[in-house]
Amino acid sequence: MTVPVHAVVVGSGIAGLTVALHAVDHGCRVTLVTKDVLEHANTRYAQGGIAGVMFDDDRVEDHIRDTLVAGAGLSDPAAVRVLAEEGPARIRELIDLGVAFDRDADGGFVKGLEAAHSYPRILHSGGDATGTAIEKALVARLRASDVRVIEHAFLIDLVVREGRVSGIELLVGDRAATRLSPAMRGRRETIDADAVVLATGGAGELYAHSTNPAVATGDGIAAALRAGAEVRDLEFFQFHPTVLPGWDGAHEPAARDAFLVSEAVRGEGATLIDETGHRFVFDVHPDGELAPRDVVARAIAHRMELQGGRPVRLDATHLAAAGDDSAAFLARRFPTIDRAVRDRGLDWAREPIPVTPAAHYLMGGVTTDLVGRTTLPGLYAVGEVARTGVHGANRLASNSLLEGAVFGSRAGDAIAQDAASGSWTTAAVRTAADLRAEPPAGDAPAFSRAALQTLMWDEAGLVRDEAGLGHAAAVIARWRAGIRAPQTEAEYEDENLLVLAESLVAAARARRESVGAHFRRDAAPAPAATVPTAQETVPC
């Protein structure tokens, strides 16, 4: 009797759950490990929705073009075509699993519009609770499957034997004091595997202001770097333009109190104004509030600088629908945001609310091919941890959930196929940015995660230059040279953040032009890339 291939999936967002479900359906033995509880992943925080060509008057070619334009010409056209062409089938798969996307009175899907889309192709669930609805449906299906689940399991490193990834090393239960017995806490465990899938999400904890949960510490990318896998495009970190800062503009912001206000609010017609009431984004882009995210985020940051650091305002007071006043419409269309706004003592139906940019999504990551294979045999990557080539220099709104579903399913299928063939092929190695560390500097402040986050926000945030990046590289190198060997989960996270920060800063220094989310004040913008028109066909 043939022993089934054993796949270990690290991460429990839409990408990891989709990989696990597809792999187990192909007869693989699957173990899914997650850093927190199964339901706690970035996916559950996704408000806006999932993009896909689900309407008769929309076109796949238009979704492709919108994605390429947002990516500033640096997206991989083949990956974008896979995303747009296979997206509708993956959305229907989610519907079959029980995700109830919002429908109108006639039973059709409610259309949502977000920045840089030429068509309102965003589907949402519960108004602004799409990620939660998807996470719940996938988790329910996973719990009913044969997938083994290990919660509170932190990825220490990949196990590499004879040039291929053959397992993972875990620290289990280090932070689960109330859930596990003392004997079970902080134990180390090695799991052997035929295939390992990284689905560990992003790295918002690199920055002082972030929309990400605290678990987003770049663990998968750091482990891949240590193992020798290729990593690309780390300089492209997207900053979401509209985040409630958790303060009123008169005091220092509470960095971890931020709450994202979905781009869908602007898609419904909300406007951005400065202290004089001026809609300032039109000064820099003809699409105003619905320009690409990097443009809007930088416009807000610049306006805040002119206002002495005070936030701009998001004005939704004029939004309403037939039979609704503004308050009723906002509560019905955006119930999660409405509660968060009102919990902060703000009445956004009557007055504009303060918003600022915050770190949101990492477009780069572990280099993969179109089925999730990395440059190391036996290692796959999906979701935000992966650099599939879909997002280029700037992610198109609501393409992230779609990417997790599309490439998660492809990776789950590929693992079974690779095992059957015995080939365990890898993604082609391409030229990456020089990621060599800067020699240690003289003086540097004492290391703390807060100090790292402030350094990255100031020197490698929305706007960068060589002087700031060079300073950051020197400080990070000094910190890395002095950090002690980690023992606890928090210490491993700090090490991972330093590894990732060093690589991100090096990649940002290597790319000297401004493009997409990577904006250097000391360089002219890169020449506009050639992007197909809506009538042209994007080559496969």
Domain annotation covers residue 124: no
pLDDT at residue 182 in the model: 60
Domain annotation covers residue 339: yes
Domain boundary residue among 357, 373, 407?
Answer: 357
Helix, strand, coil percentages, rounded to 5, for the chain:
35, 15, 45
Domain boundary residue among 311, 334, 357?
Answer: 357
Structural domain that includes position 317: 243-357
Domain boundary residue among 357, 381, 397?
Answer: 357
pLDDT at residue 99 in the model: 96
Query: Cα(first)–Cα(last) distance of the chain, in Å?
Result: 41
pLDDT at residue 81 in the model: 98
pLDDT at residue 386 in the model: 98
Q: How many domains does the chain have?
A: 2
Return d(Cα 518, Cα 513) in angstroms, integer: 8
Domain annotation covers residue 483: yes
Domain annotation covers residue 289: yes
Query: Are residues 255 and 342 both part of a single domain?
Result: yes
Edge-to-edge strand ranges of the sheet holding 29-33: 148-150, 29-33, 6-10, 195-198, 379-381
Q: Indicate the pTM of the whole model.
A: 0.91
Q: For residue 456, what is the domain's CATH number?
A: 1.20.58.100
Q: Which of 81, 293, 303, 373 is catalytic?
A: 293
Return d(Cα 473, Cα 215) in angstroms, integer: 24
Domain annotation covers residue 487: yes
pLDDT tens for the chain, 540 residues: list them.
Answer: 466 899 999 999 999 999 999 999 999 999 999 999 988 777 877 777 999 999 999 999 999 999 999 999 999 999 999 999 999 999 999 999 999 999 999 999 999 998 889 999 999 999 888 999 999 999 999 999 999 999 999 999 999 999 999 999 999 988 765 555 565 567 899 999 999 999 999 999 999 999 998 899 999 999 999 999 999 999 999 999 999 986 444 444 444 467 999 888 999 999 999 999 999 999 999 999 999 888 999 999 999 999 999 999 999 999 987 678 899 999 999 999 999 999 999 999 999 999 999 999 999 999 999 999 999 999 999 999 999 999 999 999 999 999 999 999 999 999 999 887 777 667 776 544 444 445 554 577 899 999 999 999 999 999 999 999 999 999 999 999 988 899 999 999 999 999 999 999 999 999 999 999 999 999 865 555 454 443 333 332
pLDDT at residue 323 in the model: 74
Query: Are residues 344 and 254 both part of a single domain?
Result: yes
Domain annotation covers residue 57: no
Distance of CA 510 to the CA centre of its chain: 23
Cβ atoms of 359 and 206 closer than 8 Å: yes
Domain annotation covers residue 538: no
Query: Are residues 252 and 350 both part of a single domain?
Result: yes
Return d(Cα 160, Cα 157) in angstroms, integer: 9
pLDDT at residue 1 in the model: 41
pLDDT at residue 186 in the model: 78
Edge-to-edge strand ranges of the sheet holding 312-315: 259-260, 237-244, 353-362, 312-315, 271-273
**How many angstroms separate the Cα of 169 from the Cα of each of 16, 30, 185, 329, 492?**
18, 16, 15, 49, 12
- The helix or strand, by DSSP H or E, that contains position 149, with its residue range, turns out to be strand 148-150
Is 293 considered catalytic here?
yes
Q: For residue 299, what is the domain's CATH number?
A: 3.90.700.10
Quote the Cα angle for 106-112-116, to 5°.
150
Domain annotation covers residue 368: no
